[in-house]
Amino acid sequence: MRTRLVVGNWKMNFTEAEATAAVQSFIKMVSAKSTVDVVVCPPATCIHSVRELVKDTHVKVGAQDVFWEDAGAFTGRISPRMLDDAGVTHCIVGHSETRGRFGKLEVPASTVSTFVETNETINLKLKALLFHALIPILCVGETTEERKEGFTEAVIREQLAGALAGIDASELYFFVVAYEPVWAIGTGNTCEPEEAGRVCRFVSSVLAELLDADVAENIRVLYGGSVRAANAGDLFQQDGIDGGLVGGASLDPLEFSRIVMSA
């Protein structure tokens, strides 16, 4: 069995003092559960202090996004080289929010294009992360409309194929994929556990086709989208789900600890 993994995505939340308080409050409980891998992804401004707080535990620090160049005139961007230097080990790529696909529209519709990224930019980011031996957590998932029209599998296949184009399977040993139905993110509409398990198994089967069966066998597939302590147990019991990518609930230290405990 693949080692369970729980990733907390704090998104654009927490000042340094709030981040410190949150980590101090969950670190004892979470680090006691050393059989589950745990990654927290703070905003870039808190990476340094969070890394200091978790450095003697098995908890790792991830980033929420990255640019694909190492350095240059790219105002506002952060490179994989900088993340590596900051002690980051993982990085979320292709989250539906950075793709400009929101389950619950948090921004005016006229500004959505500000967030858009493509399978091509995601592919560049994956290659850049792998070059620096950072572990990508690639998010894939369908919108409500795509699901209604029966396109769930086609959308996911296209996202995986686009993201992985030209990447050798041998580089993907530690790679992680998160199935995050867009309609479930931040909405409280969790995907039914059986359905989440079915789609996660589908993700693994596409990875086996695109890469090779042995590599795909090692790639952890997480479920994300309104994971809470109350539903985590049911989700993580499903065949094909290796853990969770947790947004809102990762901001509450007790809730996050409970989710880690149920993994």
Per CB under 6 A, residues contacting ligand PGA are 9, 180, 185-186, 224-227, 245-249
| Lookup result for tokens 């493509």 | 118
Q: Which residues pair with 176 in a beta bridge?
A: 137, 220
d(CA 51, CA 56): 9
Among residues 197 and 225, whose Cβ is nearest to ligand PGA? Answer: 225
Among residues 191 and 216, whose Cβ is nearest to ligand PGA? Answer: 191
Q: Are 197 and 239 in contact (CB under 8 A)?
A: yes
d(CA 116, CA 111): 10
Q: Are 255 and 14 in contact (CB under 8 A)?
A: no
Tokens representing 211?
């890469």
Among residues 9 and 159, whose Cβ is nearest to ligand PGA? Answer: 9
| Lookup result for tokens 């410190």 | 20
Q: Are 195 and 233 in contact (CB under 8 A)?
A: no
Annotation says 217 is catalytic: no
Least Å from the CB of residue 233 to ligand PGA: 16
Q: Are 178 and 140 in contact (CB under 8 A)?
A: yes
Annotated binding site for substrate: 9-11, 186, 226, 247-248
Annotated binding site: 9-11, 186, 226, 247-248
Annotation says 180 is catalytic: yes
Least Å from the CB of residue 224 to ligand PGA: 4
The residues, ordered by sequence, that sit 6+ positions from 77 with a Cβ below 8 Å of its Cβ are 67, 69
Least Å from the CB of residue 237 to ligand PGA: 18
d(CA 50, CA 69): 25
Nearest residue relative to ligand PGA (C-beta): 247
Among residues 215 and 260, whose Cβ is nearest to ligand PGA? Answer: 260
> Of 90, 95, 97, 255, which residue is the catalytic one?
95
Least Å from the CB of residue 228 to ligand PGA: 8
> Of 97, 142, 146, 180, which residue is the catalytic one?
180
Catalytic residues: 95, 180
